[in-house]
Amino acid sequence: MRPLTTGDPRELGPYRLSALLGAGGLGRVYLGTAPDGTAAVKAVRAEYAYDPGFRERFARELDLARQVRGDFTPRVLDADPAGTPPWMATEYVAGPTLHDLVRQAGPLPEDAARFLARGIAAALARVHGQGIVHHDLKPGNVMASPAGPQVIDFGVARALEQDRGDEEPTAAGTPGYMAPEQVEGAATTAATDVFALGGVLVYVLTGTGPFSDGHPAAVLYRITHQEPALDGVPEGLRGLIADCLSREPGARPTAARILQQLGGAVHPAEHARAWLPERAAALVDAAAEETRQDTARPGAPARRPAGEAPRGRRRLLAAGAGALALTLTAGVGAWAALRADTPRTQEAPGGEAEGAPGGAGGCDLPADLAPEYTEAARPDPRVPGADTHDQDVHSYPSLTFLQGGDLLALTHPEGVALWDTETGKEAAYIGADLPDFAQTPVNSPDGCRLGYASEEGGVHVFDLRTGEHTGYAEDLPLPAGAVAFSPDGTTLALAEGATGGGAHLIDLAGGKATTVVEGATQLPAHSPDGARLAVTGPEATAVVDTATGDEVFRGPAATASSPNALALPAPDLLFYLHEEGIVRADLSSGEEPRVIAPPDAEDRFGEIAVPPGGDRIHALIDGYDDETGDYRPELTVWDADTGDRLPAGEDPRYVRGIAVHPEGTVVAGLNPEGTSVLLLDPETLDATAELG
């Protein structure tokens, strides 16, 4: 930090500026304070401020940024693209960059690198799901805060495949972390960020990048002609990092797949020593203390209590030295804090989680599908059950995206069809001796298994690679209700429906069922970290701690029976349907649940889907065709914080049933006639493809 000079402003918007943090290509960054907290405030340079085209682009990127938010990417707090000068304020991060942290404290141990990788992958998965690419991920653009990594500098972010007329693409990238396609001048994609993530992990584990240092031309030559140097990378991470650094973009895993392979989502840490070794944690704490002293000086606006973030967000994001970049996007949804005593998933040789059928390595679908399923695929399929299901809404085919998002499962009265969303063809069909369905099938986090509850009782799990069929909980009262895999794939939650037996967790390795909620229940939903399970029934909606069975929330019952009437996108954030509208419950705040989206007049919601991150809600409003009387629900989009209905195209979009892509990039729904599946843009709801 440097003192302000006579040429620096003292205020921008509601922010009082107290120090200059640095200067970037587009302007200068200040430490700013307001009554609700501390921020990094970016003032745009004069030569850009007087360019109407720049102001328009700046405003457009700000609108994009406000659509997403998360724990591992700072959030845009406020902005004025029409101001003099144009400015924006973001949550500011306490701590050094990874580049500086490793230079001063040395390479990080494997545990710290894994936590770091999960945080960065979670942030990338969320922004990629919004159609955004970072373009310049590197150690200098990831801050090390007490809570974990913070991905910054999306100032060169662009919407994927977004047409900007005659604008020239922005050159981006840093030698040593540029993907081969960047070096060769091709378009950057989400896979480009994954390559850079691999390079960042090599740096934090070894102290140098995967293609060493030196003249930029020499580094770029090594990227396109030589293999990365991974000798110093621990064996447990070497294979994953090698996959990230593949020269072929299509061979790299997605950020969402990386997150799955590393064990799933993580909480922000409670303090630096919960995820960093002592020397590195001390550096992070020193940066936080410097900021605390600077903002606590006499005359500065009062700061909120430690750990209380702006606008009700519960994470520590105090300002700190080193973040100079314009942050234009946010990351993944709010996942609770990683504690030092949180048990880590034990890994067996080869990287598979012990006790998790199918392993944690994941499946490459449709390539790994069992031959008996692929050979059963029909050459000219129709939407399964469109000609045999009753027209009643509850018996219509249901949709589920499989992990990775390339396959879409559609139920059939006698089985499940797996459709390839790229080709529109049926990739596989599971139908031999398949008991009747009671609810929507679910896919395991590794993508390798398909499970569902049967009307005849029990739970059925199919291994998509081997064709093996396993039955569970067949001795429980009939009929079984809905099911949900835990995020680590080791258990399956079962709700018994109307039988009064309650909700259970089934150990898939041993088959043992443990009751976690008594009484009639349905619609189970896990939090992303698996720490909590939500269920609902005729009397109430409840959330329990899966480790202890303790009930942490109880509220009114959901009014819809659809499996998509309940969502737990974070351990402390619950959404469910009620006769008054969509209910939002912030579980740790102690506040009463609130209806955030009441439907108009006599309308009611029949189904909701919350994409990764929990920042918006897709909802079906029940309705009927005025002329035919046929069921005709309308798909709508709502802001999950404010409950505002978001604009989504000029004409209403009518679909039966919805499913959201694992990365939030696509929404699938049956057309009203039940003759095809529509793939829709998640924001505009424009149809991008039609299957069947």
Q: What confidence tens digit (pLDDT) does each residue in 549-587 have?
A: 788 898 888 877 676 888 888 888 899 988 888 999 988
Report pLDDT for 459. Answer: 84
Protein fold of 11-163+171-312: Transferase(Phosphotransferase); domain 1 (1.10.510)
Delimit the domains of the chain by residue range: 11-163+171-312, 371-691
* Whole-structure pTM value: 0.51
* Residues sharing a CB contact under 8 Å with residue 509, sequence separation 6 or more, in sequence order: 355, 356, 357, 490
Q: Report CA 101 to chain centroid distance, whole Å.
A: 27
- Cβ of 373: how many Cβ atoms within 10 Å? 24
Mean pLDDT of the chain: 77
* Widest Cα–Cα separation across the chain: 80
Structural contact between residues 303 and 38, judged by C-beta atoms closer than 8 angstroms: yes
How many angstroms separate the CA atoms of 80 and 65, rounded?
14
Q: Report CA 154 to chain centroid distance, whole Å.
A: 17
CA distances from 587 to 24, 297, 539, 572, 611 (A): 40, 35, 19, 5, 19
Task: Please list the rounded mean pLDDT of every run of 10 residues in the chain (692 residues).
Answer: 75 89 71 84 75 77 69 87 86 86 93 96 86 86 93 55 38 77 88 96 94 76 91 94 95 92 89 94 86 53 32 28 31 20 27 35 78 87 56 62 87 81 87 59 88 78 90 73 84 76 83 80 82 84 84 84 80 86 85 81 79 80 76 86 83 87 84 85 88 82
* Token pair in block for residue 437: 């369905």
Query: Which residues are known to be catalytic?
Result: 136
Report pLDDT for 328. Answer: 26
Report pLDDT for 602. Answer: 64
Report pLDDT for 259. Answer: 92
Place of tokens 């209910």: 583
Report pLDDT for 255. Answer: 92
Task: Decide if domain 371-691 falls under CATH 3.30.428.10.
Answer: no
Report pLDDT for 575. Answer: 92
Structural contact between residues 299 and 398, judged by C-beta atoms closer than 8 angstroms: no
Report pLDDT for 146. Answer: 93
Report pLDDT for 391. Answer: 43
